[in-house]
Structure 1
Amino acid sequence: MRVVVVGGGIGGLALGAGLRRRGFEVSVFERDTDVAVTGGYHITLHERAQSALRELVDPPIMERLLASASALRLRDRDAFWDRHGRLLGRGPDLSGDSGVDVDRVTLRTLLAEAVGDDLRLGRAVTGVGRGEDGSPLVRFADAEPVSADLVVGADGTHSLVARHLAGGPTHAPAGYIGFSGRTRLGDLSPHERERLGPRSGLAIAPRGAALYVGFLDPVGNAVIDAPELRSAITTGPTYIWGAMLPESAATEALRALRADALRDALLARFRERGWAERTLEVVARTDPGSVAPYRFNAASTRARDLAPWPAGRITALGDAVHATPPTAGMGAGAAIIDAASLLERLRDVRDGDTGLGAAVSGFEADMRQRGAELLTLAMRTVRLFHATGTPFGAAATAAVTPLLAAATRLNRRR
């Protein structure tokens, strides 16, 4: 069986690695010419995603990943702040959490290595369809079409494959634009180092703005203490932050800016909303070259709306099907689980236990349910952000957060 994967993001590379490992004939076509050129947050892989990844890559790759990852169990409990930096509450104890955080660049690079020569970089797919014999066909602008027994779209939120299957978009803007960046702990003031600490956190405020700060240290908090295996691009304690603003003409204008200009304009927007300087220090002292914008997109939270096409020899996975805002922190993990699920179904086809159509149908049914659960979780947080932007929500947030901060201070003194 020949499988063509369109897209070399996390899900596409994970599937390509798994297919190659299990002896399938596979080609992964990716328009990027360098897998290390990618943005986004760091990636959290919970136990289920890690288990799926172990099915997809050889043990040495998994060992290198864990040597390059930051262990959640070594972090302090997450924190929730208001726009003035006052503590509102803590998240659960992470000491028993088996999850890990890893740089997106690190994970993508390791997965690309696992795919090996089956990864074709610099190959932009322009269309999918059927050949004269009915086989799936992948088309390129500068090369002959390629046929396959199965085509899998892993080409992200703006998936060409999923749009072909659905006859239109499979997601819609979620009403937010995010801006991410990286700031080394050592570049912050002593006060901010202490306030932020070795933890991740979220600050919310009236008028819909929010700031996520994720802590990543794949050296001091390494899952496996094996420096000789480390591939992490992060070489010390670092905050990977994400600033979020409601979508508007003014926010959209920020997307055209880059580096210092984008950072400074973003800071100005938060200051206009009354954010304290100390809460913005992690943005102010960031590496300007790391700051990048992105739009929140979301598919439907209803399982029946996901992958709304008859099962066949062209399918899709990951954000191509269940585009998810980053507020759940599990989008990449879900794509990896999708890849492992499809691989398992395809192994049944190869072993003669089921037909290809039935395998794809079963895979898509599982993916719809999994995607709907993830989207429901992610959109719950997005709706909270939206609520703080309404007149009532803004007033309620301004009134309640000082009370929560006072209650938290009292509890800490007891």
Structure 2
Amino acid sequence: MRVIVVGGGIGGLALGAGLRRRGFEASVLECDTDVTATGGYHITLDERAQAALRELVEPAIMRRLLASSSALRLRERDAFWDRRGRLLGHGPDLSESRSVDVDRITLRTLLAEAAGDSLHLGRTVSGAGHDDDGRPQVLFTDRAPVSADLVVGADGTRSVVARHLAGGPTNRPAGIVGFSGRTLLRDLGPAEQQRLRRRSGLAIGPRGTALYIGFLDPIGNAALHAPELRMSVTNGPTYIWGAMFPESAETDSLRALRDHELQTALLGGFRERGWADHTLEVIARADPRSVAGFRFNAASTRAADLAPWPTGRVTALGDAVHATPPTAGMGAGAAIRDAASLLAHLDGTTTITDAVHQFEEGMRHRGAEVLALGMRTVRWILATDTALGAAITTLSIPVLAAATRLRGRR
């Protein structure tokens, strides 16, 4: 069986690696010419995503992944703050968590290695269809079409494959624009090091602003202590943060900026909305080259709306179907689980169409689950951008902060 995977992001590479491992004839077509040319937040892999990866890649790849990952169980409980840096509460106890955080570049590099010679970089797919014999086919901008037994779109929120299947876009802007960057813990002043500590956290202010600060330390908090296997691009305690604003003409203009200019504009945007200067130190002291912007897209949270096409020998997975904002930290993990599910059905079902049907049924429910979690935070942030929401946020936050201080004294 010949399978063409369109897109070499996390889901596409994971599927390509699994197909290659199981002996399928697979081709992963990626428009990028360098697998390290990726940005955004770090990636969280929970137990389910890790179990799926173990079905897709060799044990040696998993060991290198864990040696390059930061274990959530080794960091402090997550924190919730207001825009003035006052502590409002904590997240759940992580001491029993099996989840890990990993740099996106590290994960993509490992998956590309596992995909091996099935990965073809610099291939821009312009469309999908069927050849004269009715076989699935992919079209290119600069070369002849190629046919296969199965075509899988893993080409993200702007998927040409999913658009072909659905007859239009499968997601839309979620209403929030995000900006990410990297800041070394040692570059912060003593006071902010003490406040932020070795944990992740989230602060939400009025007028739809939020700041997520993720803590990543693949050395001090290594999920697997095997320094000889480590290949993480993060080499010490680091905050990988995400600044969020409601989508508007103002934030659209910010997305056109780069590096130090964008960093300065982000600081100005938060200050205009009343954020305390010390809470912005993590942005101010970031590596300017790491600062970039991107739009949050989201599919429907209803399972019935996902993959809304008749089952056939062209399908899609990951963000191409269930585009998920990074606010749940589960989008990449869901794409990996999609890949493992499709591979399992291809291995165990008599016909390709039956395998795809069973895969799509499971994917709809998996996608709806992660979308519901991701959109919960997005709606919370957007609710503060109304007059009522801003007023409630401004009035209630001091009460929550005072209650937290009282609990801490007991």
Which TM-score band applies after superposition, normalised by the shorter structure?
Answer: over 0.9
**Which residue does the alignment assign to 2:62?**
62
Amino acid at match of 1:142: D
**Which residue does the alignment assign to 2:190?**
190
Cα offset, 1:348, TM superposition: 1.4
**Which residue does the alignment assign to 2:218?**
218
SS of 1:207's equivalent in the other structure is: coil
Between the two proteins, what is the percent identity of the paired residues? Answer: 72
2: distance between equivalents of 1:355 and 1:145?
24
Amino acid at match of 2:115: V
Cα offset, 1:21, TM superposition: 0.4
**Which residue does the alignment assign to 1:22?**
22
Aligned counterpart for 2:371 among listed residues 371, 375, 381? 375
Report whether the alignment pairs 1:264 with 2:260.
no
Cα deviation code 1:223-268 (max 9, x no counterpart): 1111110010000000000000000101110011000000000110
Correspondence list, 1:34-73, <5 A: 34-73=34-73
Cα offset, 1:141, TM superposition: 1.6
2: distance between equivalents of 1:280 and 1:136?
51
Aligned counterpart for 1:397 among listed residues 369, 393, 410? 393
Aligned residues: 410
After TM superposition, the structure 1 stretch with the greater mean CA deviation from structure 2, 290-299 or 136-145, is: 136-145
Runs of 4+ in 1 over 2 A off after TM superposition: none
SS of 1:181's equivalent in the other structure is: strand
Structure 2: gaps spanning 5 or more residues:
none
After TM superposition, the structure 1 stretch with the greater mean CA deviation from structure 2, 277-286 or 142-151, is: 142-151
2: distance between equivalents of 1:184 and 1:403?
32
**Which residue does the alignment assign to 1:361?**
357
State the superposition RMSD in angstroms.
0.6
**Which residue does the alignment assign to 1:201?**
201
Amino acid at match of 2:336: I
1: distance between equivalents of 2:312 and 2:203?
45
Cα deviation code 1:183-205 (max 9, x no counterpart): 00010001111100110000011
**Which residue does the alignment assign to 2:155?**
155
**Which residue does the alignment assign to 1:235?**
235
**Which residue does the alignment assign to 1:411?**
407
Amino acid at match of 1:31: C
**Which residue does the alignment assign to 2:380?**
384
Amino acid at match of 1:275: W
Cα offset, 1:144, TM superposition: 1.8
2: distance between equivalents of 1:103 and 1:277?
28
1: distance between equivalents of 2:366 and 2:116?
29
2: distance between equivalents of 1:369 and 1:71?
28
Q: TM-score, normalised by structure 2?
A: 0.99
Amino acid at match of 1:121: L
Structure 1: gaps spanning 5 or more residues:
none
**Which residue does the alignment assign to 2:179?**
179
After TM superposition, the structure 1 stretch with the greater mean CA deviation from structure 2, 271-280 or 142-151, is: 142-151
Cα offset, 1:367, TM superposition: 0.3
Cα deviation code 1:295-316 (max 9, x no counterpart): 0110001111100000100000
Amino acid at match of 1:336: I
Amino acid at match of 1:340: A
Cα offset, 1:127, TM superposition: 1.2
Q: TM-score, normalised by structure 1?
A: 0.98
SS of 2:207's equivalent in the other structure is: helix
**Which residue does the alignment assign to 1:279?**
279
**Which residue does the alignment assign to 1:333?**
333
**Which residue does the alignment assign to 1:302?**
302
Cα offset, 1:283, TM superposition: 0.3
2: distance between equivalents of 1:244 and 1:141?
35
Report whether the alignment pairs 1:121 with 2:117.
no
Cα offset, 1:377, TM superposition: 1.1
SS of 1:359's equivalent in the other structure is: helix
Cα offset, 1:139, TM superposition: 1.3
Cα offset, 1:143, TM superposition: 1.7
SS of 1:245's equivalent in the other structure is: strand
Amino acid at match of 1:399: L
Amino acid at match of 1:240: I
Amino acid at match of 1:380: R
**Which residue does the alignment assign to 2:80?**
80
2: distance between equivalents of 1:329 and 1:341?
20
1: distance between equivalents of 2:81 and 2:333?
27
SS of 1:240's equivalent in the other structure is: strand
Cα offset, 1:20, TM superposition: 0.3
After TM superposition, the structure 1 stretch with the greater mean CA deviation from structure 2, 378-387 or 6-15, is: 378-387
Amino acid at match of 1:5: V
SS of 1:307's equivalent in the other structure is: coil
Cα deviation code 1:347-384 (max 9, x no counterpart): 014xxxx2111110110010001111111111111110
**Which residue does the alignment assign to 2:103?**
103
SS of 2:94's equivalent in the other structure is: coil
2: distance between equivalents of 1:365 and 1:389?
36
2: distance between equivalents of 1:302 and 1:224?
38
Report whether the alignment pairs 1:317 with 2:317.
yes
2: distance between equivalents of 1:206 and 1:156?
31
Amino acid at match of 1:113: E
SS of 2:274's equivalent in the other structure is: coil
